[in-house]
Structure 1
Amino acid sequence: MERTKIQVLYDASNAVFSQKELPSFKQIQWLKSILDVLEAVDVGIDEFSLHRPSIKGRICGQAVSEITYIHIHECDSFSIGVFCFPAGVTFPLHDHPGMTVLSKILYGSLYIKAYDWVKVDKSSCRINGLAGAVVDGMFNAPCEPSILFPRSGGNIHSLTALTPCAILDVLSPPYSEEMGRPSTYFSDFPIPSLPGYAILEEKDMPQDLVVAGAPYLGPPVDEATMLA
């Protein structure tokens, strides 16, 4: 029986991120190529539907009215999920501490601003420092998946939905307060005399940031399978 695309992604993520060794560049590129072929329908989203609920038993992409997270899988090694955005909302500047993150825009248009640390000051209770811009622009589906690493690729970023859109994320390891991997939010202050650089200052999670949950309606993922 042929595996679904999301099953192939799960099996490959499990093989790469559950091993004792750090993933190789070749393995990360392999995962990126698997992520690249996934579409909204492969994770149970009807990107064109305006109806609620979808007559096809899928999440209706155009009917999402707030930032919504669809949980597909999470274990100690990695997580897989989808963020759906209505047009006009912004997910504020935040980091992915110690993580490798692969992301695929399934549909829609996004404005992304991303930084990497140049110098970090953790002497106080909060994190501040100099950061360099890595990404500052608009991205339209279809486009190739992005990869960010703990110290490169745009680990600290914000996302603004220009149209209804969705992003499939694979995070390794996942966020964990207990393991010292909380999500931290930042304000950025561009430096006029240093174009492309800004001072980032940690701030509390914005009170108006609300992320709703939605059920995963895509093909089931068999977590007992192993990659052959």
Structure 2
Amino acid sequence: MELVNVPPIVSIYRHSLHTFDDRQKAELMANLGKLKSMMDGLRSEDLGYDNNLKDVSFWRQPNKAPCTYIEVFQNSQINMSIFVLKPGFKMPLHDHPHMHGLLKVISGAVKIRTFSEYPVTQHVDPVEFQVHARREAARLAQGNHRRRKLFAEITSNKVCSENSSTCILTPTISNYHEIEALEMPAAFFDILSPPYDTLIEGIGPRRCRYYHVTNEVSANLVELQETEVPKCFYCDQAPYLGPILG
């Protein structure tokens, strides 16, 4: 029987679907750990990454967006994508409501600062969540959107390059982050589950919300205020050129 080499991104895609399958909830953390290990070895060439995006002069073109988005794969369960940032550009601080995520830098280097809502909790109490969900649903049904204000602990503040390990976020840990490219263009591959805009039971679609730090309480504790989508943050798109998925 002939052995066939499976491209790394295909193996990651398959294991992602397994990891975030609702039938595998009991094994989520073990599967998540394996998925992280698989992503740790991912390289830009595994994704068919266009080397033109690494060229600083490419980002100096007139009207070039500061961020390029490449959709790798998406269904109702997972979103796999690549974000490319121009030199010095910071992706604004944002959240990932009730989502898990993995982020692997594949080109250049970025500074990543992550936050967890304070006090930090490992799990969400189901009863407390349902009470919150009903209140949130009723407020949204009335057309009200009160901007969130919260305390958050800085859980990570580091530079990641293509040789760095994969970063993980959960619904409660490191769920807020901002990502800044350094002196060269930088790209990262990420997996989010469930994707943005999928429904949160009892509340509605997952929306990406943006924040700014309004008060630094201590060296690792800040106050965050929800804000509008920053006007500096907009993307153009490029095609995915890697192995076929799905």
Give the TM-score category using the shorter length. 0.7 to 0.9
| 2: CA distance, partners of 1:136 / 1:103 | 14
Q: Which runs of 5+ in 1 are unaligned?
A: 51-59, 224-228
Distance change in 2, residues 1:89/1:207 (3 Å): same
1:160 paired with 2:160, answer no
Partner amino acid, structure 1, of 2:8: K
1:166-203 Cα distance to aligned partner (Å, 9 max, x none) = 101010101016542110000112425x2211110000
**Residue in structure 1 matched with residue 38 of structure 2 by the alignment:** 34
Match of residue 9, structure 1, among 2, 9, 12: 12
**Residue in structure 1 matched with residue 219 of structure 2 by the alignment:** 195
For the residue of structure 2 that corresponds to 1:31, the secondary structure is helix
1:173 paired with 2:194, answer yes
Per the normalisation by structure 1, the TM-score is 0.84
Per the normalisation by structure 2, the TM-score is 0.79
Matches within 5 A, 1:37-186: 37-46=41-50, 49-50=51-52, 60-62=53-55, 65=59, 66-118=66-118, 125-152=146-173, 154-162=174-182, 163-176=184-197, 179-186=204-211
1:63-121 Cα distance to aligned partner (Å, 9 max, x none) = 55231111011111111111111211110000011110011111211111111111699
Identity level (%): 27
| 2: CA distance, partners of 1:180 / 1:20 | 22
Query: Aligned-pair distance for 1:141?
Result: 2.5
Higher fraction of helix: 2
Query: Aligned-pair distance for 1:137?
Result: 2.6
**Residue in structure 2 matched with residue 18 of structure 1 by the alignment:** 21
- After TM superposition, what 4+ stretches of structure 1 lie above 6 angstroms from structure 2? 120-124
For the residue of structure 2 that corresponds to 1:82, the secondary structure is strand
User: Rg: which structure is higher?
Assistant: 2
1:133-187 Cα distance to aligned partner (Å, 9 max, x none) = 11123223211101110101x1101111002111010101010165421100001
**Pairs aligned (count):** 209
